[in-house]
Chains A and B, each alone.
Chain A
Amino acid sequence: MTAPAHATPARVRAVQLHPLSRRIMHWVNALAIVVMIMSGWRIYNYYPALPLHFGFPYYLTLGGDFTVTEAISNDDGLVNALYWHFAAMWVLVLNFLAYVIVGIVSGHFRRDFLPITIGAFLRDLFDALRGRLGHQLGEYNAVQKMFYWGVLAAIVVTILSGLSIWKPVQLQGLTWLFGGYEFARVVHFFGMATIVGFLVVHLALTALVPKTLVAMVLGRAAEAPHPRNGE
């Protein structure tokens, strides 16, 4: 009588988790998002969309050194931030579209992010809050699935509200959908804030379970995936 394969691991097998295409798109997206957020923070500082006396610390913004840009262009730092924002938007949007298409066609969304039920979400959320929710490479729990859907939605909303601010005349229907130019700026801000919130949790959890970082870099990690997920 032979034991099940996963019961007799003389050595732990490396398992493929993320195909190369997904890893490339993940890191391109990470770079584009960081550039968009940091340049966006500097743009925000020039005329805040929120009625609060609040600005982002300049060392967290992207757009070059003030003294240098002033010497080059006599501009006090907005130009480079705009340059970055409207260059990185192409990288973000094209990469995101590729990710969505590949995600649908390859079955990645269906296989890894679905199904998701309210019952499972509440149960996993409760476990997570009690610190009882384990992490199984290769399988996402309901809280994780909800998180990924949430950040995908936030990225879509932020991109669309951004387009509506960029082109309130040519894309005026879209601007109208976001409640007009001024409100679209607020939507764009909270879309960003949601993404930043996701990033904080995402990075914290990666720090807690570093093998997920290995998996996103190398594509595989030294752990058998959960048997339910197959191999």
Chain B
Amino acid sequence: MSRWVLERRPVVPTTERRLFLRRTLSLGALTLLTGCDISDRDGVQDVLKLMSRWNDRVQAFLFSKHRLAPTYSESDVVRDFRYNAFFPAADAPQLSASDYRLELSGLIVDKRPWSVEQLYALPQESQITRHVCIEGWSMIGKWSGPRLGDFLKRVGADLSAKYVGFQCADGYYGSIDMPSALHPQTIMAVKFADETLPAKYGYPFKVRIPTKLGFKNPKWVTTIFVTNRDPGGFWEDRGYNWFSGS
């Protein structure tokens, strides 16, 4: 089974940490420290998940479609931006412009697929914003591309629907709330630092959402769909908070 380690950089390498953990577990059993950890019990998990749902609602309430993420200057942009996925950069999906089609489904009127050429011909916005990872690291980058909100309007998406979902060429998937999808800084980034988005950053485009944490910014997107049923997401289904706004 492959290890899915998107956005991971532990202090100690995983195997080393496991060994360390095993040793400390026996120590913990002696000191009754680890014995107290009730995190994995069903009842506790239910309460913790309930609180996470509550935090979704609080964050949706805090979100304002008019409040923009802070922007930075060109000199703040990190050129060698961190590559982040569960596989080495060399194994990143190599999508070719000739074969690629962006599929649309769900509550969308015009479901005709889009080619790279068509996507790249749309009017673009640029932003220099901070990408914040759920682990705590952050990096300032420059992304350019059409606004997702404009795109959704153009294809006749039901803007009163609750969710916009994404499926990606690497098996990753995710979803966001409609207000965040329509935020003016939410873009289909086709460029990084003024150059066509390289394969390792998600060619042909990544959804860049500066009002959300990094894992809510899917790369190598192959399908966009609109729905009222919560589509979840790769990490969200593993317990990360669904809204994950910044």
Contact = CB atoms under 8 A, between A and B. Distances in A.
Interface of A: 43-49, 53-55, 57-60, 62-66, 68-69, 72-76, 78-80, 82-84, 86-87, 90, 165, 167-172, 181-182, 185
B20 A86 contact: no
25 contacts: A43-B135, A43-B136, A46-B11, A47-B137, A48-B11, A55-B12, A57-B24, A58-B24, A59-B25, A68-B40, A69-B39, A74-B4, A75-B235, A75-B238, A78-B134, A79-B238, A83-B39, A86-B241, A165-B136, A167-B246, A169-B67, A171-B62, A172-B67, A172-B70, A185-B136
Contact of B132 (A43, A63, A78, A168): A168
Contacts of B55: 86
B160 interface: no
Given A58-B20, A59-B24, A86-B55, A65 B240 contact: no
B177 to A, nearest CB: 14
Instruction: Summarize B's interface: helix, strand, loop or mixed.
Output: loop
A74 B239 CA distance: 10
10 closest residue pairs by CB, A with B: A64-B39, A79-B239, A87-B51, A55-B11, A83-B48, A47-B136, A59-B24, A47-B135, A73-B238, A59-B28
B212 to A, nearest CB: 9
B136 A86 contact: no
A1 to B, nearest CB: 58
Interface in B125-158: 130, 132-138
Given A168-B246, A181-B138, A64 B24 contact: no
B239 A75 contact: yes
Interface of B: 4-5, 8-12, 14, 17-18, 20-21, 24-25, 27-28, 31, 33-34, 37, 39-40, 47-49, 51-52, 55, 62-64, 67-70, 130, 132-138, 210-211, 235, 238-241, 245-246
B48 A80 contact: yes
B245 A170 contact: yes
Nearest to A48: B11
Contacts of B37: 62-65
A49 B47 contact: no
B9 A181 contact: no
B238 A76 contact: no
B135 A76 contact: no
Given A75-B239, A82-B241, A169-B69, A47 B133 contact: yes
Contact of A87 (B4, B24, B48, B246): B48
Contacts of A64: 37, 39-40
A74 B8 CA distance: 13
Given A46-B136, A80-B239, 17 more contacts: A46-B11, A47-B133, A48-B11, A59-B24, A69-B39, A72-B40, A73-B238, A73-B239, A74-B4, A76-B5, A82-B241, A165-B136, A167-B62, A169-B70, A169-B211, A170-B67, A170-B245
Contacts of B5: 76
A45 to B, nearest CB: 5
A202 B11 CA distance: 31
Q: Which of B11, B63, B67, B130 has the most CB of A within 10 A?
A: B11
Contacts of A49: 136
A83 B138 CA distance: 21
B210 A169 contact: yes
A132 to B, nearest CB: 36
A45 B20 CA distance: 14
A79 B40 CA distance: 11
A60 B33 contact: yes
Contacts of B62: 167, 170-171
B193 to A, nearest CB: 20
Contacts of A60: 33
A66 B211 contact: no
A90 B134 CA distance: 19
B136 A83 contact: no
A79 to B, nearest CB: 4
A66 B21 contact: yes
Contacts of A69: 39-40
